[in-house]
Amino acid sequence: MADTLFVHIAHGGGCKNHYFFMYMSPGEFAESNPVQASLYLRHDNNDDDCREGCQDERCWVNTTLRFDLTPLRSHHQVTYGTPGPILLNVYDYFTEIPDGKMQVLYSP
């Protein structure tokens, strides 16, 4: 579990499966001390609009996502010869401009 990033989210819908992806962009670390990685959350709602327009909080699906950070640790190991630490800049889902950045220190 040490190489797992947990993200608590809430989303609309709930009648179809939703898919979430976390990716690093650019593919290289930003040089700082510690180095930084920008991670972005993507959401595919599978065209689930069964609760569209509902603003009541009971319409939201709350869940915790888990993302494996082992590839990030391995990339750091190959690049720098050590597994970390890495400052993660985790961006919330967005459509055009990144928003809602949270920073997490990842020390494998």
> What does the pLDDT average to over 17-21?
91
10 pLDDT more than 80: yes
Q: Domain boundaries in the chain?
A: 4-106
**Is the pLDDT at 95 greater than 70, yes or no?**
no
Question: What DSSP string runs through 6-31?
Answer: EEEEEES--SS--EEEEEESSSSPBP
Please determine, for residue 97, whether its predicted confidence score (pLDDT) is greater than 70: no
For the stretch 37-91, pLDDT in tens is 999 988 888 888 777 667 777 778 889 999 999 999 999 999 999 988 999 999 8
Whether residue 20 is predicted with pLDDT greater than 80 in this model: the reply is yes
Cβ atoms within 10 Å of 76's Cβ, excluding its own: 22
> Which structure tokens are listed for 48?
């689930």
Q: Give the pLDDT of residue 13.
A: 80
13's CB contacts (< 8 A; 6+ apart) are 45, 48, 49, 50, 51, 61
